[in-house]
Structures are given as structure tokens and as C-alpha cells.
Amino acid sequence: MLTVENIDCYYGDFQALWDVSLNVREGGIVALLGPNAAGKSTTMAAISGLLKPRKGRITFQGKDMANLKPEEIVELGIALVPEGRKLFKTLTVRENLEMGAYSRRARPQISEGIERVFDLFPVLKERTKQLAGSLSGGEQQMCAIGRGLMAQPHLLMIDEMSLGLSPLLAKQMFDMVKHIAEIGVTILLVEQQVHHTMKIADTAFIMEKGGIVLAGPAQEMANSEHVKKAYLGM
């Protein structure tokens, strides 16, 4: 579905990514893991079109995305749930969800999309008219994921989903992401909670210092000595 080939990315003169390659097959969950400042969010920005690689290329379903604007990438079927949720806090839950369906491909399905989100996150239905800024942290994350799903994506990218959530809420969100994948939405998940992520992911890529250092089936990766020592405290 998605192929990232040997990309280098910069912020001005500062190089943030070195020769990064990864692939996402249709169906299931791919995890992109690593410590802070490893380059995970920069990789997501490059895939989303928010940051243009200086080297390498990114293709989605065989289409080269080099010259596409972020909104054109959304039209292809890629949606990003950004780190920190980035909700419109002075808008209601429903208005935030509707904002997720601004693309041409999603607009005709607003009603169906909202019902799907409410089926996945029943608490949001109870909060329909509530301002997003007044929601709890967990509810805000549900709303952010719901807004991403409103774009009717083939690939949903979620950046640091568990950030700021209690362990119990984080576990519930991981379970929900697994369910979303099971109903047909491919997931690319950026996370620091390696233990929970490895349990639901099919494939994992480990980033350190702007590059991919390990890649493979998630269960095999979870048993590697490097991952155990560096990320699982074993």
C-alpha cells in the first residue's frame, strides 16, 4: 500500500532523517517505534506531504506522491491523527468530526461516517454538542481518531496516541486501534509504548537518531535482545 524509499528530510539546514525506508501492506497494523527525537513524527510529516524529502521517494498504491499537496494526499486515502490531537477546542465534538470530512471523497458520506465513529466511540455520541476543549484527555483522543476516520481513509496514521493517557485508557485505545484494523482500515502507529504496541502490531520498524535500525514481524522484534534491553527494560 505505502512504500517509503531511502528518504532524507531536513528542517532548514538540520537533517532529521537519513535514508529511511519502510513499507505498509494493506490490512493490519504497522508500528513505528523509538525514543523521543528519533524521527518518527518527521516520517509521518513526510508521508502526509507536510515536509518534502530532499532525497528518495514515497508512493501510495503505486502513485508517486512527490508533487502532491497535503490535501491531495488526503484525497488519495491517507489521514493523519497528529501528536497532541490538535482538535478545534472551541468547536463541538460533532463539528470537529465534520471537519474531518472536508475532502471531496468523504463529503458525501458525512452522516454514515459520524454513525461509524459513534459506534466505535459511544461516549462521543453522548458528547455531541460539548466543546472539544472540555473533554477529558481520553475523550479528546477518541475525537481525534474519529475525525481521522471521517476522511474515509484507506491508511490511518496515528502519532503518539497514548501520550498523556492513564495506563488503563491507553490499553483501551490500543484495543480500539486493533478493532479499527479488523474492520478494514490499515494503521500506521507511531508510539513510545513499545510493550502494548508490539501486542497489536503485525510489523514493526524501530527508529533511532533519524534512521531505521531494526525491522520485522512484531512478535519477532519483541523477542530481540536489542528491543528487550532498550525498550522493554528486560
Helix (H, G, I), strand (E, B) or coil at 68: coil
Helix (H, G, I), strand (E, B) or coil at 231: helix
pLDDT beyond 60 at 233: no
- Give mean pLDDT, residues 69-95: 94
pLDDT beyond 90 at 84: no
Residue 208 is predicted with a pLDDT of 92
pLDDT beyond 80 at 105: yes
Lowest mean pLDDT among 49-63, 136-150, 162-176: 162-176
Residue 36 is predicted with a pLDDT of 86
Judge residue 33's burial from the number of C-beta atoms within 10 Å of its C-beta, 0-12 exposed, 13-18 middle, 19 or more buried. buried
Residue 192 is predicted with a pLDDT of 81
pLDDT beyond 70 at 44: yes
pTM here is 0.92
Nearest-angstrom CA–CA distance, 106 and 89: 22
pLDDT beyond 80 at 183: yes
Question: The dihedral of CA 102, 92, 181, 195: what is its sign?
Answer: positive
Q: List residues bridging with 191 in a β-sheet.
A: 33
For the chain, where are the alpha helices, taking DSSP H only?
A: 40-48, 70-76, 93-99, 110-120, 122-126, 137-149, 167-182, 194-200, 218-222, 225-231
Judge residue 230's burial from the number of C-beta atoms within 10 Å of its C-beta, 0-12 exposed, 13-18 middle, 19 or more buried. middle
Nearest-angstrom CA–CA distance, 51 and 29: 23
> What is the overall mean pLDDT for the chain?
92
Cell numbers given for 201: 502490531
- Give the range with max mean pLDDT: 7-11, 159-163, 191-195, 213-217: 7-11
First to last CA, the chain: 34
Cell numbers given for 203: 510489523
> Band of the pLDDT at 155, cuts 50, 70, 90?
very high
